[in-house]
Amino acid sequence: MKIYGLTGGIAAGKSEASRRFEERGVPVIDADGLGHVTLAPGGRAEQAVIEAFGEEILTDGRIDREKLGGIVFGDAEALSRLNGLVHPAVGEEMAARTQALEQEGHAAIIVEAALHAEDGTLRPGMDALILVECPRDERVRRLMEDRAMTESEAVRRIESQTPPEKKRELARWVIMNDQDVEHLRQQVDAIVEEL
């Protein structure tokens, strides 16, 4: 089975691309979503994250991702510490889901994650990378409109991530999300044909 990474910065259009891959019959594992599962009550990383960041990240006894995000985005050391706690748990869950999809007979899957290729290399077992790019101004606009962020919050979130151009060399395919959604879907469809 082939495993393809799908990445792009916040508000670049990864989720829309994922939906289209799934519509075309290519299963998608949302690695960022698995990260949320690990932080939920009883999740693999919940207790370690509370111990690392304190009870001020809790709301009604649960990890409040907005509070946690307010601490780690813009603080590289805190973000690295969080990733060190969450990523191993995500890896275990991803391995189980990948194995299940392979047993179902899928020849290819997509693993969607904002953090693919952060160190300039593909993860072990990853066959190729798909990068979704979108102009920075449009990403800021989307974050302000869709997630009610201030401009400075949106810029801070974008700047906390690896710039997409640093991943371009590793990408086998680049989806330019600088037009309408139909244009993005056409690019995904072309990739599906190659897969």
Average pLDDT of the residues in 103-114: 92
Name the more confident of 11 and 118: 11
Which percentage of the chain shows pLDDT scores above 70?
100
Q: pLDDT tens for residues 161-189?
A: 888 888 988 999 999 999 999 999 999 99
Residues 6+ positions from 66 with CB-CB distance below 8 Å? none
Interstrand relation of 2-7 and 28-30 (parallel, antiparallel or unpaired): unpaired
CB 9 within 8 A of CB 158: yes
CATH fold of 32-105: Rossmann fold (3.40.50)
Q: pLDDT tens for residues 58-104?
A: 999 999 999 999 999 888 899 999 989 998 988 888 888 899 999 99
- Asked whether this chain's domains 1-27+107-195 and 32-105 adopt the same fold, the reply is yes
Separation in Å, CA 17 to CA 31, 71, 91, 92: 15, 29, 22, 25
Which percentage of the chain shows pLDDT scores above 90?
70
| Amino acid 116: pLDDT | 82
CB 101 within 8 A of CB 27: yes
| Amino acid 93: pLDDT | 83
Domains of the chain by residue range: 1-27+107-195, 32-105
| CB atoms near residue 132 (< 10 Å) | 26
**Which CATH homologous superfamily contains domain 1-27+107-195?**
P-loop containing nucleotide triphosphate hydrolases (3.40.50.300)
* pTM value > 0.75: yes
Residue 117, pLDDT above cutoff 90: no
